[in-house]
Structure 1
Amino acid sequence: MADPDLELIELPIAHPEEMPERRLWAAVMRQLLDDGKTYWLQKGQRMLQTEYEAAFDDLVRCGPMTRHVCKWLDVPPWRISEAFIRKCEAENG
């Protein structure tokens, strides 16, 4: 059985028929998650962009960016943070 919290970060958050504003915030969340994942997967490299690190730190700490975007998506930010951490730990092997 799939973990519903992991599905939050793996599937598109907004359905194409949803309000344009929600699709916009879903795209922002997707970018935040992608940047955080990029940092996690490339953490051994020296030339990481600071945006990736900032996204990763914010997602892990349930920071202001995560909380702000989650507010507009009506998703509890702690669920996104916890799911992101579990996803990173699972990909670490």
Structure 2
Amino acid sequence: MVNPHRVRPGAALRAGRAALRAFEELGDPRGKCAALRGLAVTARVLGRLETALDLHAESHRLAVSHHLPLLEFANRVSEAECRLALGRAPEQTGAVEETEGRPG
């Protein structure tokens, strides 16, 4: 399967930003959370790891505040991938483990 983030990163960024705006206008926290995570994944693929971490953190906070455990966990996993790419392996373990004990 072709990863659109790798093939057309500019298009992925435009679509992600448009989705984020639409979900913000609709007041849809789940959609906003997913759009932020999608933008974070695109940033990671483009090598913008610090930006990706910031977007994942924002998406994660939204997931926690709206009780969206799957998106919460997905963000933590993606954050861990960013931290590994940055050479911050010890930090990534705690990020994933802190989500595992939550009921969901």
TM-score range normalised by the length of the shorter chain: 0.3 to 0.5
Where is the helix percentage greater, Structure 1 or Structure 2? 2
TM-score for the superposition, normalised by structure 2: 0.38
